[in-house]
A and B are shown apart, each in its own frame.
Chain A
């Protein structure tokens, strides 16, 4: 267990380690504890009222007229990771991300950023937080239609009171960084959706925030463009290592960009873990249903598929690292025609052969353990 997240429903999983968050004690950026956001009359009473706090969404609405968009959510976002919150529409994920900078005021619970209590902040320190520490990219871009691209990108700096020359310079730099050089003088209305979202991304980056918050940033884009933008985000993250909180309803997108994924349903986190944990060991039927169509060979690693080495096998065949994806292992096995070794720091951990790999693809691996979880 490498992560120490406090997610209530996080499944303990020992078979696999998180993909990139390998160090145990990482700096925590956002720390969320028992956060609630309830809409409706007398909303602030709901979280404390034990008689209704446990009701289902439907029952809660019938009984109190309130909707709990976020209910009793706890998690940590670590420095430098891409933390994905995924769920269907209405699951409360967009509300949750807005609660992080109090664009929506949480009803109750604890919320800290770098150890500072965000909920206790007054207006000016909250404004400072929004100006310099956390900026957001929106699904529908939220660009100012009457400003040019470069002025849109510079807008955050303008709000901060940065001089015109300086903000122009930084904005131009950002426009180039997101690949829009040459379009500085256009208006948002003259750009395609993908280009507009690049402007939104540049605007968020221009203020050099500690955390980037993405609210379903690519949902409104065409599939091909979406793919481009996802790669752009992955690239940016690789280059800068900026912490990101990424909201999406698209599982493929979550698996592609996320280091860890929190899966939400009806305002609650159903499972929190690495993509491999979510796909390999779904916490319940809901999650299992959710990940059913995921091509497992592209998410799971050989660590899951391997079997103990039998005599003489541990020094034969191609060597794979434990983090190798099943799909890559299939290729290696197919090429050599026999079994492959899983080697970590010179030690043979196990063997993958045709049967092991096929089992994973066919979902007949690790059955007992899943049921136990």
Chain B
């Protein structure tokens, strides 16, 4: 090993030996960057201001609605005749419709008895008794809520979408894992796709496929395949070099290496990829109800459109349960890998015969269901929760929305938040000259990252202006910033507390687990119940959605701070606060930056979806575009969302390899 470890160790020593000069260099470099930008600004700003003025100049705007509208018309006109559609996209769309239909019919044919039994047994086999019980209860609850058919519709879509995403993702990941060049090419694309809000994917697929199941499914696959591809590639690349060398030393061929070592070594990542794909797919299948996916998401969507919180909740509960079951099952399957073959549980559930057993039992129960004539969940067993929930909501509107002594009401809070935070922020951002915004973006991105990230961020921001959606984008941006600040304050605070107290973390963990598995869409329901509609509830949903990830990353970052550094600080007599401020937080800086980055991405995703509950701005444009068939409007908003996402991600993206180029 000696030859390989020596240079990095030497490099590390070099850095460790003189932290001060390096630090100074960095500081000076940051200063130099700022100075350079200031000079550029001093020259450019007067010029730009004299030429264009403070608002985004119309001469720099390109109106794309004409060409986009024509493209859309052309596609609609040629959908049945052009070879591209008849020979490729048409088949694709037919295959999607057929497979979803097939799975749906199969699920219906199995009946509720068969499906519930099958899923429970499957969960038992791969994940153990507890998760099997969760699955059983979840499916029964879905039935009780009267959501059996929509649940099956969603499940059918999910099965097809997940299989397609996993296959596509695994193939891409395999290629990228084996070819370094492809990996370099694919990685930034996949990384970027992961930060884009789900809404951005809806319009392009609608443009090509029209509203319907194929569009919904393809949007889902595009959204859910990247994590699989990414994790497959990373897993294959991250395989223990020592093991691979040992395998080579025994004379294995390339194929043998792949099949007996690299793929098995990447099993954990592969399963994690499947897990993430499933969660992303569920999130998207629900959102894709806006472009023609039937099922639970559609119920939520319809209910939200008429602010029927009760109906929305009835459909949301099965979504959450489905998410929990799928997440826990795949996660537990991943954890079980590599462990000793399980000896707990009944003997029936071990070995290869089990799979046959599961099939037989499922079939028998399906048959029983069929014979007793209850294929679909019996209507007599449905518990209607919509009305009591709505009654409760009415009571809240009457008693909690405003006029509560001392603390005021929830609607008052929302109004205050809108008036005192969102509005000034939006107005300020809109009033800020466009070149000022670009400069701030450039400065932030350059300070935190490299000139490359700064360039991408500025270009993305400029593209928003060019597309002529500067104003709504600033509106969205103001909501993102407001929600982000609240998220970070809460998240860092709770994260620090959780890192300091084991007990608090133990209480927090299951809550975070559940919150992190829920699809974005679901978060809109409670905030609508609490704060009615508007921009404040959208921001609140964003905060709630982004909070778990921020807390988690903060806690982990603080926990992973070198114990020796902490111990030495304590041995010098530092107080807890001093340790936190002077040792833990600085050392956890990369994790905190990551938390900011994740927070931004997650907040943006939900702020955009907030367009459904009165969040306005870009999200609303997408929704309107879809609802009125004005694809140009929606597409432009979609592109702006992509640009905004890119900009926000780049601005908060710390440099990954700070040391490169500095070694020699």
Is A190 within 8 A of B249, CB to CB?
no
List residues of chain B with CB within 8 A of the CB of A103.
Answer: 245, 248-249
Q: A103-B245, A135-B249, A142-B242 are in contact. Are A190 and B340 (CB under 8 A)?
A: yes
Q: A128-B251, A131-B251 are in contact. Are A138 and B246 (CB under 8 A)?
A: yes
Is B250 within 8 A of A156, CB to CB?
yes
What is the CA–CA distance of A146 and B246 in the complex, to the nearest angstrom? 15
List residues of chain A with CB within 8 A of the CB of B247.
Answer: 142, 144, 155, 159
- What is the CB-to-nearest-CB distance from B445 to chain A, in angstroms, rounded to a whole number? 33
- Could you tell me how many residues of chain B have their Cβ less than 8 Å away from some Cβ of chain A? 29
B572 interface contact, C-beta 8 A: no
Q: A90-B2, A142-B242, A216-B1 are in contact. Are A101 and B249 (CB under 8 A)?
A: yes
A interface, how many residues as a size bin?
35 or more
B336 interface contact, C-beta 8 A: no
B101 interface contact, C-beta 8 A: no
Q: A142-B246, A144-B243 are in contact. Are A160 and B251 (CB under 8 A)?
A: yes
What is the CA–CA distance of A92 and B260 in the complex, to the nearest angstrom? 30
Is A146 within 8 A of B251, CB to CB?
no
List residues of chain B with CB within 8 A of the CB of A91.
Answer: 2
Question: Which residue on B lies nearest to A140, using beta carbons?
Answer: B242
Is A145 within 8 A of B265, CB to CB?
yes
List residues of chain B with CB within 8 A of the CB of A160.
Answer: 251
The residues in A between 167 and 190 inclusive whose CB is less than 8 angstroms from any CB of B are 187, 189-190
Is B245 within 8 A of A67, CB to CB?
no
- What is the CB-to-nearest-CB distance from A56 to chain B, in angstroms, rounded to a whole number? 15
* Residues 410-443 of chain B, each 1 if its beta carbon lies under 8 Å from chain A, else 0: 0000000000000000000000000000000000
- What is the CB-to-nearest-CB distance from A39 to chain B, in angstroms, rounded to a whole number? 7
List residues of chain B with CB within 8 A of the CB of A143.
Answer: 243, 246
Tell me how many residue pairs across A and B have CB atoms closer than 8 Å.
Answer: 99
What is the CA–CA distance of A210 and B260 in the complex, to the nearest angstrom? 25
B510 interface contact, C-beta 8 A: no
What is the CA–CA distance of A128 and B252 in the complex, to the nearest angstrom? 10
Is B2 within 8 A of A159, CB to CB?
no
Is A144 within 8 A of B260, CB to CB?
yes
Highest count of chain A CB atoms <10 Å: which of B1, B264, B340: B1
* Residues 127-163 of chain A, each 1 if its beta carbon lies under 8 Å from chain B, else 0: 1111110011011111111100000000110111000
A243 interface contact, C-beta 8 A: no
- What is the CB-to-nearest-CB distance from B235 to chain A, in angstroms, rounded to a whole number? 13
The residues in A between 82 and 107 inclusive whose CB is less than 8 angstroms from any CB of B are 87-95, 101, 103
* Residues 587-599 of chain B, each 1 if its beta carbon lies under 8 Å from chain A, else 0: 0000000000000
What is the CA–CA distance of A207 and B267 in the complex, to the nearest angstrom? 28
Q: A146-B267, A159-B251, A190-B340 are in contact. Are A89 and B246 (CB under 8 A)?
A: no
Task: Specify which of B242, B248, B265 is in contact with A146 (CB 8 Å cutoff).
Answer: B265
The residues in B between 315 and 369 inclusive whose CB is less than 8 angstroms from any CB of A are 337-338, 340
B253 interface contact, C-beta 8 A: yes
- What is the CB-to-nearest-CB distance from B195 to chain A, in angstroms, rounded to a whole number? 33
B506 interface contact, C-beta 8 A: no
List residues of chain B with CB within 8 A of the CB of A132.
Answer: 251
Question: Which residue on A lies nearest to B267, using beta carbons?
Answer: A146
* Residues 240-279 of chain B, each 1 if its beta carbon lies under 8 Å from chain A, else 0: 1011011111111100100011001101000000000000
Is A67 within 8 A of B1, CB to CB?
no
A262 interface contact, C-beta 8 A: no
A69 interface contact, C-beta 8 A: yes
What is the CA–CA distance of A143 and B261 in the complex, to the nearest angstrom? 10
Question: Which residue on B lies nearest to A189, using beta carbons?
Answer: B338
- What is the CB-to-nearest-CB distance from B253 to chain A, in angstroms, rounded to a whole number? 7
Is B246 within 8 A of A69, CB to CB?
no
Is B3 within 8 A of A92, CB to CB?
yes
* Residues 11-36 of chain A, each 1 if its beta carbon lies under 8 Å from chain B, else 0: 00000000000000000000000000
Highest count of chain B CB atoms <10 Å: which of A131, A158, A159, A190: A159
List residues of chain B with CB within 8 A of the CB of A136.
Answer: 246, 249
What is the CA–CA distance of A95 and B5 in the complex, to the nearest angstrom? 12
List residues of chain A with CB within 8 A of the CB of B261.
Answer: 144
Residues of A within 8 A of B (CB): 39, 65, 67, 69, 87-95, 101, 103, 127-132, 135-136, 138-146, 155-156, 158-160, 187, 189-190, 200, 203, 207, 215-216, 249
Given contacts A136-B249, A141-B242, 9 further A-B contacts (CB under 8 A): A39-B3, A89-B1, A93-B2, A135-B249, A136-B246, A156-B250, A159-B260, A160-B251, A190-B340
| A-B CB contact pairs (8 Å), 26 listed | A65-B664, A90-B3, A92-B2, A94-B2, A94-B4, A95-B3, A103-B249, A127-B251, A128-B251, A130-B250, A136-B249, A138-B246, A140-B1, A140-B242, A141-B242, A142-B242, A143-B243, A143-B246, A144-B243, A144-B247, A144-B260, A144-B264, A146-B337, A156-B250, A189-B338, A200-B246
